[in-house]
Amino acid sequence: MLEVLRLGHRHGRDDRISTHVGLTARQWGADEVVFSGDEDSSMIQSQRDIVDRWGGEISIRYENSWRKEISEFEGLRVHLTMYGERINEMEDVLRDRLSDEKDLLVIVGAEKVPRWVYENVEFNVSVGNQPHSEIAALAVFLDRVKEGEIKQEFDRAEIEVEPSEDRKLTREK
Ligand code: SAM
């Protein structure tokens, strides 16, 4: 089970970034994406609409109590932060731990992430020690953990892409 928790969503300001966190999580096979911060039903609905059309079994929901979401998660909890341990040094350790634990919670922030998060996860991991983006950090992290495997099949899709050398091709299913 792969869950992604997006902390501190700010309505208006973060709509696009939060949506892309959800879509990135979906592309890399997340079973669940949970948003915390401002409750934003239109941002969540826009992702559900994409799932309805493009398929997949992912659950997308809001949770006010992010502390509860983290503390009650049974499995490996990883917080992505520029201040964390370097991914190049951690990826083998993480894969080892995941062969026992199976379930993975990946946490990304928005602005300032409370210290509590750093202290209540198994690992704080950086994707480079420079500030960049939760979307980039999530994509690179999941790609490393999954050793380059990119999900291709999405159940119940109404539409899918026909990969093409030179044009936009889709087919209704
Ligand atoms: N000062 C923040 C931090 O702690 O990483 C940067 C804020 S950034 C706008 C929002 C989120 O992107 C962070 O909470 C973190 O999850 C992710 N992020 C940004 N840079 C990262 C990096 N180099 N490594 C891992 N995650 C990063």
Domains in the chain: ranges and CATH: 2-172 (3.40.1280.10)
Distance CA 76, CA 94 (A): 9
The pLDDT of residue 148 is 93
- Nearest-CA neighbor of 68 among 22, 21, 7? 7
The pLDDT of residue 102 is 84
CA atoms within 13 A on the CB side of 22: 27
Locate tokens 């690179």: which residue? 140
The pLDDT of residue 111 is 87
pTM over 0.85: yes
* Nearest protein Cα to ligand 1, atom 4: 81
pLDDT under 50 in the chain at which residues? none
Distance CA 54, CA 60 (A): 14
Structure tokens at 62: 């809001």
The pLDDT of residue 173 is 85
The ligand 1 atom nearest the CA atom of 134? 12
The pLDDT of residue 158 is 96
Q: Is 124 in the pocket of ligand 1 (CB under 6 A)?
A: no
The pLDDT of residue 101 is 82
Q: Is 82 in the pocket of ligand 1 (CB under 6 A)?
A: yes
The pLDDT of residue 100 is 86
- Nearest-CA neighbor of 107 among 96, 95, 119? 119
The ligand 1 atom nearest the CA atom of 107? 16
* Nearest protein Cα to ligand 1, atom 12: 134
The pLDDT of residue 11 is 96
Contact 6, 34 (CB under 8 A): yes
C-alpha of residue 170 to centroid of ligand 1, in Å: 35
The ligand 1 atom nearest the CA atom of 130? 23
Distance CA 110, CA 163 (A): 34
Question: What are the beta bridge partners of residue 126?
Answer: 86
- Tens of pLDDT, residue by residue over 57-105, are 999 999 999 999 999 999 999 999 999 999 999 999 999 999 888 899 9
